[in-house]
Structure 1
Amino acid sequence: METNYYTLKRTDNQLLALTHLSQLLTCFTGFGGLIVPLIIWATQKDNVEGLDIHGKSIINFQLSIVVYSVLSIPLILLFGLGILTFIFIGILAFVMPIINTIKASNGELPSYPLSFNFIS
């Protein structure tokens, strides 16, 4: 007799929201905005419904923020465009996690603009 094991994923919108909100650690501590969501995603993606999609979106967004920040450094020498880019990146990195936290708590899918797909 063959035994089938089914893993049931639980619905946990609070963990999804917390994962999005944990990105703000970078704004307050200087680090952790990539590490904490990565750990939550890696450990819970098989247990929580939708965490795989949310986690990939968060990791892609955080990696995109790093790429944009690194590319902005040489732009500082070009008429100060890098400073404006840094300001835009900072606003985007603060506002988008809050918007997607609200979306996640309502059961909606995340959307991060200008995000590269490093993990698909």
Structure 2
Amino acid sequence: MNHLVGKDERMWAMIAHLSALIGFLIPFGNVLGPLLVWLFKREEGPFFEEHGKEALNFSISVTIYAAISSILLIVFIGVILLTALFFFWIVFVVIAAVRANEGKTYRYPLTLRFIK
């Protein structure tokens, strides 16, 4: 994308990414936040559509990775994986939000693309 993306569209794209942090307060809020923002605002424009889908796909992917890591708690490696996943999640959500606010596209690493 370029600098022609409107301020409102950039703000909502940033909110789509940051809404995943609701997961700190509500179980599965990390998926519900981006899902709700995307559902209500997806018609706002292609820039938001792209960021909304990306935020939702990343949140779903992180939830799957957390479930697998939780199962691996049995063999202790899960503790290490969950800790690494937590920091990975926070860092990349913030990076994506900043990029969205700058009007740039962003693709999260290690993301399963369920919503196309």
> In the alignment, does 2:103 pair up with 1:107?
yes
TM-score normalized by the length of structure 2:
0.85
Which residue matches 1:23? 20
Task: Report the Cα distance in structure 2 between the residues aligned to 1:21 and 1:49, rounded to whole angstroms.
Answer: 19
What's the secondary structure of 1:33's corresponding residue?
helix
The one-letter code matched in structure 2 to 1:39 is: L
Partner of residue 98 from structure 1, selected from 94, 100, 112: 94
Greater share of helix: 2
Structure number with greater Rg is: 1
Task: Report the Cα distance in structure 2 between the residues aligned to 1:106 and 1:25, rounded to whole angstroms.
Answer: 22
After TM superposition, the runs of 4+ consecutive aligned structure 1 residues lying more than 6 A away are: none
Alpha-carbon RMSD: 1.5
Deviations 1:68-112 (A, max 9, x none): 11111221222x110000001111111111111110011111221
Which residue matches 2:52? 55
TM-score normalized by the length of structure 1:
0.82
Which residue matches 1:6? none
The one-letter code matched in structure 2 to 1:89 is: L
Task: Report the Cα distance in structure 1 between the residues aligned to 2:44 and 2:54, rounded to whole angstroms.
Answer: 17
The one-letter code matched in structure 2 to 1:106 is: E
Q: Which runs of 5+ in 1 are unaligned?
A: 1-9
Calculate percent identity across the aligned residue pairs. Answer: 25
Q: How many residue pairs align between the two structures? A: 109
Deviations 1:31-55 (A, max 9, x none): 3221121111112111234111111
